[in-house]
Structure 1
Amino acid sequence: MSARQAASSGSDSDPRYANLDERKRKRMISNRESARRSRMRKQKQMEDLVNEASKLQNENNQLMQGINAAHQRRMEMESANNVLRAQAVELTERLRSLNSVLQAVEEVSGLSMEIPDTIALLEDGVCLSSGVYLLLAWVFVLAWVNVIGGCWYGVCLMGVWSGRSCDVLGPV
């Protein structure tokens, strides 16, 4: 029998080997418990990371929804601004047209119909409000001019007179 076999077979009876076996057994139990705690820590870390990832994904989705809503509002505002710019250009052109008609009326009638605020607003590039614009247009519409041999013509500056499209009305 070898020394090893003798030591292992004799460990049951020898107290110093019994103490060694007890330490081995305690160490093995301690290692198992330590490994179990390590697995539990890793499992908890994994759960925490999954929860954090889910939380961040939800936050990311909310931010994306906010970005999309802001983008939609921006597009709507750009569209509204484009409409307003087009209206401003159209109103500026109408105002220039009204001023040229007013000048023609002044030349033909000899009456002064100067509206300095209108010219100043046009030169400053400031857009008239639609109410002021309509008021000025009707003031111009009401300016009748004796053009040819007693025939009176009404100048329609808004493009509509009594519900029909017109540039210049015939004799009244």
Structure 2
Amino acid sequence: MSSAPAPQTSGSEEDAQLMMDERKRKRMLSNRESARRSRMRKQQHLDDLMSQVALLKEENSQISMQINLFTQQYVRLESENTVLRTQLMELTDRLRSLNSLLHLVEELSGMSMDIPEIPDPFLKPWQVPCPAQPIVASAEMFQW
């Protein structure tokens, strides 16, 4: 096996080839650095997104807990409201019975009695049936 002699090139061609090789090497280094920076940006973006996901999951968990608390309070208040409505209907029926009895006594005795009309609380729910009594409220009533 004999080695073929290297082709003879002039000095300017050799210099041009060396310059091309140097440019190619610099371009490769530049591309590598650019790719490294791109990977770092992608990793940073991924880290930011993961942090955001964790934050949103925590917020979601807190909101879910609040919803559960409010739902429990709503159910409790709705139950209390049902009891109060039932009591109101029962007391209204009793008052009607008493008024009926008073009307009967008025008729039989011939005496004139001032028997007040019974307001229907379901027709006017915000109208206080007995305005002579003050309504007492405290800040604790509205705290959850």
Q: Which residue of 2 aligns with 1:69?
A: 69
Give the drift of 1:128: 5.6
Give the drift of 1:77: 1.9
Determine if contact 2:102/2:115 at 8 Å carries over to the other structure: no
* Count of aligned pairs between the two proteins: 120
Gaps of 5+ in 1: 133-172
Q: Which residue of 2 aligns with 1:112?
A: 111
Q: Deviations along 1:81-125, whole A, 9 cap, x unmatched?
A: 1111101110011111212333344455x26372422xx1x1x21
Give the drift of 1:35: 0.6
Let me know the Cα RMSD of the aligned residues.
3.1
Aligned letter for 2:113? E
**2:124 is aligned with 1:125:** no
Q: Which residue of 2 aligns with 1:14?
A: 14
* Secondary structure in structure 1 of the residue aligned to 2:111: coil
Identity level (%): 44
- Change over 3 Å in CA distance of 1:90–1:113 after alignment to 2: farther
Q: Which residue of 2 aligns with 1:90?
A: 90
Task: Give me the TM-score of the superposition, normalised by structure 1.
Answer: 0.58
Gaps of 5+ in 2: 122-127, 134-144
Structure 2 CA distance for aligned equivalents of residues 37 and 79 of structure 1: 62
Structure with higher RCO (Cα < 8 A, 6+ apart): 2
Give the drift of 1:6: 5.0
Max Rg structure: 1
**2:57 is aligned with 1:57:** yes
Give the drift of 1:70: 2.0
Task: Give me the TM-score of the superposition, normalised by structure 2.
Answer: 0.68
